[in-house]
Amino acid sequence: MANENVYDPNLTLDEIVFENRNKEYGAYDLRHQYPRLLTKSFIVGTAIFLVAALSPFIYLTIKRLTEPPKQEVKADLVEILQEDKIIEQPKEEEPPPPPPPPKEEEKIEIIQNVVPEPVKAPKIETPPPPISKQLETTTGLVNQEGVKAPAYTPPPPPPSTGTKASTAEVKPQVSNDVYESVDQPADFSGGGLNGFRSKFTNNFDSSSLEGEGTLSTEITFVVERDGSLSQIKATGPNSDFNREAERTVKSIKIKWNPGKVNGQPVRSRFRFPVKMNFE
């Protein structure tokens, strides 16, 4: 029995790896033949690369060897006679087109509104018939048509002295519409517009407003026929200021003198601008 601890320098790496193993296994055969297969593959690959690289040169060389010989052609110079130049005849200049006729301005007929002067129609007088026609008239018992007199209308009988004529006063109908413009504008009965402005300033409560600056609004309301106010509305950028302005107008209980149209009181709209500065 050989000593397993003795190293044999002639053993290859495959012999050492597969020692005491099944060498008929495919792995041992592949590793044993690997160097020879690698060399064979390298040679075949190099040969294919060289053939692919040299094939254009080989093709050109074969084409050059197989092409027919070149034929030389003698080319003698021939004098070329120059043709006479064609002289173009000058073109006759066409006369310029005549200018367009001037456009006639459209005449605008101005019709003035002329009021004709009244002319008294002449009275047409019918002349009397000639004497020959008058002699042809027949007299006797025959009825003849004459000129008809206008129908007479008797005057109304005078009122009796015992009774008095009753005169009923006709009052004009008053419309319920709201007038934007009236003959006589509405007026505050407590001192006019200045008095109303003074009442508004005294009743205005600024405690609900915050901040400083100038606030403005326009109050519109309808002065009714009895002097009361309705449809009070303030339009301005600050809602709190509008609300307090409406409340202040409603708190003034003094009535107004209504506006009048044709002497009759009507409903009219009044505009009251307000501008206040808060510090």
Please give the tally of structural domains in the chain: 2
pLDDT of residue 101: 81
- Cα separation, 45 vs 51, in Å, equals 10
Q: % helix / strand / coil in the chain, to the nearest 5? A: 30, 15, 55
Cα 265–270–271 angle (5° rounding)? Answer: 170
Q: What residues contact 236, with CB distance under 8 A and at least 6 apart?
A: 215, 216, 217, 218, 242, 245
pLDDT at 140 over 50: no
Mean pLDDT in residue range 169-178: 66
The long-range contacts involving 187-192, CB below 8 angstroms and separated by at least 24 positions, are: 187/256, 187/257, 188/254, 188/256, 188/257, 189/227, 189/254, 189/255, 189/256, 189/257, 190/254
Q: Is residue 227 included in any domain, yes or no?
A: yes
> Quick one: which H or E segment has residue 214?
strand 213-223
Mean pLDDT in residue range 115-120: 61
- Cα separation, 242 vs 160, in Å, equals 68
Amino acid at 21: R
Query: Tens of pLDDT along 44-57?
Result: 999 999 999 988 98
Alpha-carbon torsion (15, 19, 22, 27), positive or negative:
negative
User: The domain containing residue 1 runs over which residues?
Assistant: 1-62
pLDDT at 38 over 50: yes
Q: Is residue 57 included in any domain, yes or no?
A: yes
Query: Tens of pLDDT along 184-202?
Result: 999 998 888 899 999 999 9
Confidence (pTM): 0.39
Q: Is residue 69 included in any domain, yes or no?
A: no
Q: Is residue 41 included in any domain, yes or no?
A: yes
> Quick one: which H or E segment has residue 221?
strand 213-223
Say if CB 272 and CB 236 are below 8 A apart. no
Alpha-carbon torsion (258, 263, 264, 267), positive or negative:
negative
pLDDT at 277 over 80: yes
Q: Is residue 92 included in any domain, yes or no?
A: no
Among 16, 36, 62, residue at a domain's last position = 62
Find residue 256's DSSP bridge partners: 188
Find residue 213's DSSP bridge partners: 278
Q: Is residue 236 included in any domain, yes or no?
A: yes
Q: For residue 116, what are its two tokens? A: 């004709």
pLDDT of residue 2: 47
Q: Is residue 240 included in any domain, yes or no?
A: yes
The burial class, CB within 10 Å (0-12 / 13-18 / 19+), for 268 is buried
Q: Is residue 87 included in any domain, yes or no?
A: no
* 132 vs 39, higher pLDDT: 39
Say if CB 272 and CB 221 are below 8 A apart. yes
CATH number assigned to the domain comprising residue 196: 3.30.1150
Mean pLDDT in residue range 240-248: 91
Among 24, 46, 62, residue at a domain's last position = 62
